[in-house]
Amino acid sequence: MVGGADHLEFRCNGCGACCQSLRVAVTHHDVARLARALQRPAAGLVEWLGGDEVDMTNEPGSFFELREGRRLMVLANARGACHLLDADQRCSAYAARPLDCALFPFALERDAGGSPARLSLLELEGCSEERGEAAELDGLISLDDRRWAELAEYQGRVAEWNRLARHRRRFRREPGSGREVLTFLGLG
């Protein structure tokens, strides 16, 4: 049994606090799902955060070297909230939302062997949870596995871009822009 299983009874109250206060890092898989579902170009779905806007010590493999410096690809923001948040405080792309959004507020910790060990909730000021029908642990584990697999593939692509950016710099050329990254990722 996984510790913290009582957290499975969390139910979102629809306050929208997470969409108003968090910036969601996305992978090329997340952006591709959103672009298909919304029938919008990838460039309009993302922004690029710099070191003054995000802590770059966590997951360093997710930061692209761009001509502007190191940047993290995140969901675009509008009016102080995720641009996908509608007037009723609901996600307008719920079925295609990024995996980090689908897992929120659950955090699954694993033991040294990779087995699920503890479930906790990420706390967010302004969010008041409700209790309800329990989420399925197996579904969360499966979603978490998928998220980590997609992130590993994405970070491999980031590493390849950054290797090419270092090569370009050696020849006194700029590494490229966010739009060029999207093309590199097959999203442009």
Taking only the tens place, the pLDDT of each residue in 82-107 is 999 998 889 999 999 999 999 999 99
**pLDDT for 25 beyond 90:** yes
What's the first-to-final CA gap in the chain, in angstroms? 44
Question: For residue 186, is it within any domain?
Answer: no
Question: Residue 9: its pLDDT value, please?
Answer: 85
pTM of the predicted model as reported, rounded to 2 decimal places? 0.91
**pLDDT for 168 beyond 80:** yes
How many CB atoms lie under 10 A from the CB of residue 177? Answer: 15
Question: Residue 135: its pLDDT value, please?
Answer: 80
Q: How confident is the model at residue 132 (pLDDT cuts 50, 70, 90)?
A: low
Question: Residue 147: its pLDDT value, please?
Answer: 96
Q: Percentage of the chain surpassing pLDDT 90?
A: 71
Question: Residue 6: its pLDDT value, please?
Answer: 86
d(CA 180, CA 73): 13
| Summary mean pLDDT of the chain | 91
d(CA 161, CA 157): 6
Say which residue the tokens 């298909």 belong to: 36
Question: For residue 81, is it within any domain?
Answer: yes
Instruction: Name the domain count of the chain.
Output: 1
- The alpha carbon of residue 83 and the mean position of all alpha carbons in its chain are separated, in whole angstroms, by 14
d(CA 102, CA 56): 23
Tell me which residue of 153, 177, 154, 155 sits closest to 165, measured CA to CA. Answer: 177
Distances in Å between the Cα of 177 and the Cα atoms of 66, 105, 162, 166 are 6, 32, 12, 14
Its domain, for residue 159, covers 5-124+131-181
